[in-house]
Structure 1
Amino acid sequence: MRLSNRNKIPVYNFISTLLLMILLAGFAAFFLEEYKFNILGLESYLLIILPIILLSLFYFNGRQIFEYDSDGEALNFKNRNIIPFMSGSMSDEFPKYKLMKYEVVSMFFMKRLYVTISSKNNGSTILKYEISYLTKKEVSDLKISLNKVIKANNEKKVQSVNDDRRTFA
């Protein structure tokens, strides 16, 4: 199964540009208010503070673009920001049999996907992906796909244990 919200890049770019323009307009209005009109008083600081809060919420909510591919023998996860220099992109690829469990955590506006994979060195490794910008249906489809992989892994483990028992009997 493939899941991607790459087609929403223009929407996220528009929102980002709009928030930056609102911030610039807020700065201009603040300086005009402070040095020319002086009508608002201390409320003039809201012209800067509110756009900064909105812009911060947009960027700190997580990486906007999430791609998932479970076709074939490997799972591919990609998570990146629309602005390349904001934060590095994450790209992980590992065999399906290494997937142990996953968890989707929702906090206010943020959603995170924690994937636990088996590792030779540490026993297990937790990978974190930001899925805040996925729709409920996309998150549901992602959960269904990951559940299928985990179920197939568990069936293979049970089957191999049964085969081992038959061998020793």
Structure 2
Amino acid sequence: MRLSNRSKVPVYNFVNTLLLMILLGGIVAFFLEEYRFDVLEEESYLLVIVPILLVVVYYLSGRQIFEYDSDGEALNFKNSNAIPFLDKALSDEFPKYKLMKYEVVDLYFVKRLYITISSKNNGSTVLKYEISYLTKKEISDLKVSLNKVIKTNKENKVSENINDNRRIFA
């Protein structure tokens, strides 16, 4: 299964530009208010504070682009920002049999996917991806696909244990 919200990059770029324009407009309005008009008095600080809060919420909600591919023998995860220089892109690829479990954490504006994979050195490794910009349907499709991989892994482990027991008693 393939899942990607890369087609929404123009929307994310538009929102980013709009937020930066609102912030710039708020700063200009604040300085005009403070030094020229002085109508709002203490409320003039809201002209800067509200746009800053909007920008902070937008950037704290994580990387906008999430791509997932479970076709073949490996799982591919890519998580990047719509603006490439803002944040380092995450890209992981590992065999399906290494997937142990996953967890989706859903806070108000922030959704994260935690993937636990088996590792020879540490026993297990947790990978974190930001999925705040996925729709509910995309998240449910992702959960279905990951559950399918985990179920297959459990069935394979059970059949391997049965085969090992047959060899021991034979």
- TM exceeding 0.5: yes
User: How is 1:1-169 mapped onto 2 (pairs within 5 angstroms)?
Assistant: 1-169=1-169
Task: Measure, in 1, the Cα distance between the counterparts of 2:56 and 2:84.
Answer: 17
Provide structure 2 residue ranges, at least 5 long, that are not aligned to the other structure. Answer: none
Structure-1-length-normalised TM-score: 0.99
One-letter code of the match for 2:152? A
* Distance (whole Å) between structure 1 residues aligned to residue 38 and residue 122 of structure 2: 62
The CA deviation at 1:11 is 0.4
Letter matched to residue 77 of structure 1: F
Instruction: Provide the rounded CA distance (Å) in 1 between the counterparts of 2:24 and 2:76.
Output: 39
Question: What amino acid does structure 2 have at the position aligned with 1:12?
Answer: Y
1:116 CA displacement: 0.2
RMSD: 0.5
**How far apart in 2 are the matches of 1:89 and 1:75?**
17
Q: Structure 1 counterpart of 2:44, which letter?
A: S
**Post-superposition offset of 1:135:** 0.2
Q: TM-score, normalised by structure 2?
A: 0.98
Where 2:82 maps in the other structure, the secondary structure is coil
Deviation track 1:77-98 (CA, whole Å, cap 9, x = no partner) reads 0000111121100000000000
The 2-side partners of 1:108 and 1:19 are apart by: 20
1:168 Cα deviation from its structure 2 partner: 1.2
Residue type at the aligned position of 1:111: K
CA distance in 2, matches of 1:168, 1:20: 67
* Equivalent residue letter for 1:154: K
Give SS of 1:132's match.
coil
SS at match of 2:12: helix
Q: How many residues align?
A: 169
Percent identity reads 72
